Copies of this chain bind each other. A is one copy, B any other.
Amino acid sequence: MKKIITFGEILMRISPIGNKKMIQSNTLEYYFGGTEVNVAISLAQLGNDVKHVSVVSEDFIGHAAKSFLNQYGVDTSLVTNSGYPLGLYFLETGAVMRPSTISYNRSNSSFSMMDPNHINWNAALDVCDWFHWTGITPALSKQAYQSLKVALQTAKNKNIMVSADPAYRKDLWKYGAKPQEVLNELIELSDIFIGGPNEINELLNTNFKNNTTGFIEGSKHLLHTFPNLKKIFDKTRISTNANWHKIKSRMWDGANFFETEQLEITHIIDRIGTGDAYAAGLIHGLLHFNDKKALKFANAACALKHTIEGDANLVLEKEIELVMNGSLTGRINR
């Protein structure tokens, strides 16, 4: 089994049932997630050996968070405890033209407030095939950023493949760092870039269009800027409304462009974590298949996540392969 390490905040997601608003019901449901956790869980469900590195509260919430990851097959032996509470968010799920709304309570969390030296990255990455990070982590706090930087440097020294999902969300960057500087510094330590013209423009103040040409030109520009980067993988999403999306993926491997067919999700069950499902599918694909199949696998994984409740993609490899191979009618499997 391939050994993968992820690093990031474990977030509790709390939401009213269905499309209700908080004000309408005193019943809630919850999941544990967080972008890197979602990647970790999906990779574990796909059969990989995944270890997540994080900090949780030392109470029954932290205990439940670790148990949740264990349940889905993620090793939590490198998740430590602290006196700060676990980060969480509330979600009101929208529909059609009404957006879902999220309210975060994470600025004071056990992860954000971590001791940047809390983890011995040299030991943690001792036997590892892949390390995945996203731009959420360096946005949360200086400590989180510092710890991630050490992790990436260590990974580079150990020749571990590193995938970067820049995931720039400007509202998160509150501790004083300059997002572009920080993200670019971290991308320099990475091998695989997950993103397209939108992300490239944000990082490099460029102005590539979000079409095939823009993707290719932007990718070339990005690879030129960060010579360490080897390949670029992106998905595009056409949203009719909150319930109805179309997903298509594309890649630039430094020399060739390839794109998948489009998958249409007419009745979305849960929109959260679909990008993480894409990243997990991609990492799994790159570890086990060739690039083209990896891209198609990632695209199908992303589409399937829209049919799964909760943050993480719980589908199995064979389910993704069926969709990847064109089985789209959803006929009952008796």
Contact = CB atoms under 8 A, between A and B. Distances in A.
Interface of A: 14, 18-31, 57, 59-61, 63-64, 67-68, 70-73, 85-86, 88, 90, 92, 94-105, 107-108, 169, 171, 239-244, 263, 265-269, 271-272, 303-304, 306-310, 314-315, 319, 323, 327-334
Given A99-B330, A99-B332, A243 B266 contact: yes
- State how many copies of this chain the complex holds: 6
A314 B102 contact: no
A100 B332 contact: yes
Contacts of A104: 85, 334
Contacts of A101: 59-60, 332-333
Contacts of A323: 97-98
B24 A27 contact: no
Most B-side CB within 10 Å, residue of A95, A96, A304, A307: A96
Nearest to A103: B59
Nearest to A68: B71
A267 B93 CA distance: 13
A304 B95 CA distance: 9
Given A61-B90, A103-B59, A239-B330, A26 B23 contact: no
B70 A239 contact: no
Those 3 A-B pairs whose CB atoms lie nearest each other, nearest first = A242-B330, A71-B71, A108-B108
Contact of A331 (B18, B95, B99, B308): B99
